[in-house]
Amino acid sequence: MSAAPERTAGGREGNLRREGDRRREGAGGAEQDLEDQGNLGNGRDGAPPTGGLTRRGLAVATGTAAAVIVATTAGQAVPALAPLDLLAPRRPDLGPQGLPVNRTARAARVAVAARDPGYRLEVVGTRRVGYDLAQLHALPSHTVRLPITCVEGWSADATWHGPRLRDLLDAALIPVDATIRVESLEAHGGYRASEVRPAHARDPLTLLATGLNGADLELDHGYPARLIAPDRPGVLQTKWVHRVVLL
Amino acid sequence: MARMLSGRLPDPPAAVRRGPPWAGAFPSTLHDQRVASLLGIALGITFGTCFLTGLVSHFMQHPPNWLSWPSRPVWLYRVTQGLHVTTGLASVPLLLVKLWTVYPRLWERPPVRSVTHALERLTLVPLIAGSIFQLATGIANIAQWYRFHFFFTVTHYWVA
């Protein structure tokens, strides 16, 4: 009898009350009995003796908080939820040419190099093939509809135009099972180049895009040319491409 | 061996005993194992999904030689990464409420009953710290708020 108040004050199980313990200890102490009586009227969702949230109330509040967060952030990836996209850091339809930009040309310090009229794209395989701007735009152009998905969670569909990567690889006699590296004009940074394995390099949807949504690619989207491949993280969709090399 | 691990350790001397700050310090019936386990199930689903989709993202960006990701379906990464960020965000209120539900246990008395009990409590430290760290740095990352002096993706992966 003397040990009972100590138990209710947070003894053996801390204050984490177990249904079973309560039943076992039910006859043990006066405090415990009082508490049980306080809960009687409300059944399993019994109100605490001091008044406050019920279990159901807590579940509803927590569930609502989680649901509101999901509903107001999922819009950065789910087009149907875009109007609700209040808490997410991105709106997938805002940005130049209707598409967000994560890293601008200025941040990547390529603004001058990318606008250089003397720009050349080099594809280096068994053969080395170079293209100036006019030659790049004269290549057979394809149009694909592909999402761009940032690792930070936003994604958006876009229409891309440009030569297929595999046609450029073929011209440089790069074997079909080869892994290649696509290099940006960026001089520094962990994501200045990316490797492309055969599954993506040879996919007919993979382009070295020079256009976006019916217009020339804007500088911040990777002008003069950028990689766009299906099912690939955005940081690996290298922008401001100037070299493609066989590994 | 089993007896050594589960044998009761001597109680600390009365002078250093600390229980809850005062009797009835946690009056809410919501500090309750059933509430905690329901939240645990919900967290298991969101954190579990977040963890698996995080692994997908990691190995897509750093594929080992034996692993070649498919280029189809074209929306696969969009779905896995959308789920990763969304389930991570949904975990925030769930984790906070769960920690609130069980925090009276911090004042459990005696603090350690046996060697296994001590190990059980110690393993919770990296688990809780890791969960909070992952959610906090993940949110900082999606907001592009890089105030921490470590490389996000590497640390995020190793803490996971």
Instruction: Read off the pLDDT of residues B83-125 as tens digits, 9 standing for 90 and up.
Output: 999 999 999 999 999 998 888 888 877 778 888 888 988 888 8
Cβ contact A89–B142 (<8 Å): yes
Alpha carbon of residue B130 to chain centroid = 6
Q: Residues of chain B with pLDDT > 70: what percent? A: 86
Q: Which segment of A68-82, A161-175, B118-132 scores lowest on mean pLDDT?
A: A68-82
| Alpha carbon distances (Å) from A61 to A43, B29, B31, B136, B143 | 20, 16, 16, 22, 26
Which residue segment(s) compose the domain that A41 sits in? 4-52
Q: Count interface pairs A-B at CB distance under 8 A.
A: 174
Least confident of A97-101, A227-231, B121-125: A97-101
B70: chain A residues, CB-CB within 8 Å: 199, 231
Amino acid, res. A80: A
In 3D, which of B95, B97, B98, B117 has the Cα closest to residue B108? B117
How high is the ipTM of this complex? 0.74
Domain of residue A162, CATH code: 3.90.420.10
3-state secondary structure chain B: CHHHHHCCCCCCCHHHCCCCCCCCCCCCCCCEHHHHHHHHHHHHHHHHHHHHHHHHHHHHHCCCCCCCCCCCCCCHHHHHHHHHHHHHHHHHHHHHHHHHHHHHHHHCCCCCCCHHHHHHHHHHHHHHHHHHHHHHHHHHHHCCCCCCCCCHHHHHHHHC
> Is there a domain that residue A87 lies in?
no
Confirm whether A223 is domain-assigned.
yes
Examine residue A64 and state whether it is found in any structural domain, yes or no.
no
**What are the sequence ranges of the domains in chain B?**
29-159
Closest Cα of chain B to A122: distance in Å?
25
Are residues A229 and B71, on separate chains, in Cβ contact within 8 Å? yes
- As a whole number of angstroms, the distance between CA B127 and CA B104 comes to 17
In contact, A179 and A201? CB cutoff 8 Å: yes
From edge to edge, which strands make up the β-sheet containing A142-149?
A142-149, A155-162, A211-212, A215-216
Q: Looking at residues B13-22, what average pLDDT do you find? A: 67
Task: Measure in Å the smallest separation between the Cα of B88 and chain A Cα atoms.
Answer: 10
At A185-222, the pLDDT tens digits run 988 777 889 999 999 999 999 999 999 999 999 999 99
Structure tokens, B56: 């997908």
**Do residues A146 and A160 lie in contact, with contact meaning Cβ atoms separated by under 8 Å?**
yes
Taking CA atoms, A236 is separated from A27, A199, B19, in Å, by: 66, 15, 54
Task: Mark which residues 27-46 of B lie under 8 Å from A by CB.
Answer: 27-36, 38-39, 42, 46
Q: What pLDDT score does A35 carry? A: 39
* A224: nearest Cα among A139, A125, A128: A139
Number of domains in chain A: 2
Partner-chain residue, chosen from B84, B94, B104, that has the shortest CB–CB distance to A62: B94
User: Minimal Cα–Cα distance from B1 to chain A, Å?
Assistant: 24
User: Do both A146 and A210 map to the same domain?
Assistant: yes
Question: What does the pLDDT read at residue B1?
Answer: 67
Q: Which of A13, A15, A42 to mutate to test the interface with B (most CBs of B within 10 A)?
A: A15
Residue A124 belongs to some domain of the structure: yes
Cβ pair B86:A230 closer than 8 A: no
